[in-house]
Homo-oligomer: A and B are copies of this chain.
Amino acid sequence: MRGLLLVAHGSRREASNDEVRKIADLLRQRAGDRYGAVEAGFLELADPLIPDGIECLIRQGASEVVVLPYFLSAGRHVAQDIPAEVAPKQAQYPQIPIRIAPYLGSAEGIVELLVGLSE
């Protein structure tokens, strides 16, 4: 079973974290044929943190985990901080592939979404 962890920065404003959890809920409904479990995770300031989110997916039976960065730019968080949080889990579970997907801002479809919003 594959598990998906949607990773956002995390905010002191709980409503922002809830927005991310809501997107994870929608992903669970939408990608249910490809992912047996979908969770939200946070780099800081909110729960679960990334390692705990990965652990939760593995406890649910994930034999493969995809970490999906809900970030718009390829900054330090995407390039360094998220991989640094994922690495210990990769070391802990060498038999479970844990990979990081491209970040949201790199999706080509972003421009189409913006065109739609601008109408």
Contacts and interface: CB of A to CB of B under 8 A. Distances in A.
Nearest to A17: B73
Interface of A: 4, 6, 8, 11, 13, 15-16, 19-20, 23, 26-27, 30-31, 34-35, 66, 68, 70, 72-76, 101-107, 109-119
22 contacts: A6-B114, A8-B72, A11-B75, A13-B73, A13-B75, A23-B110, A23-B111, A27-B111, A27-B115, A27-B118, A30-B115, A31-B118, A34-B119, A70-B72, A70-B114, A72-B104, A104-B114, A104-B117, A107-B116, A109-B112, A109-B113, A109-B116
Q: Within the oligomer, what is the number of copies of this chain?
A: 2
A105 to B, nearest CB: 7
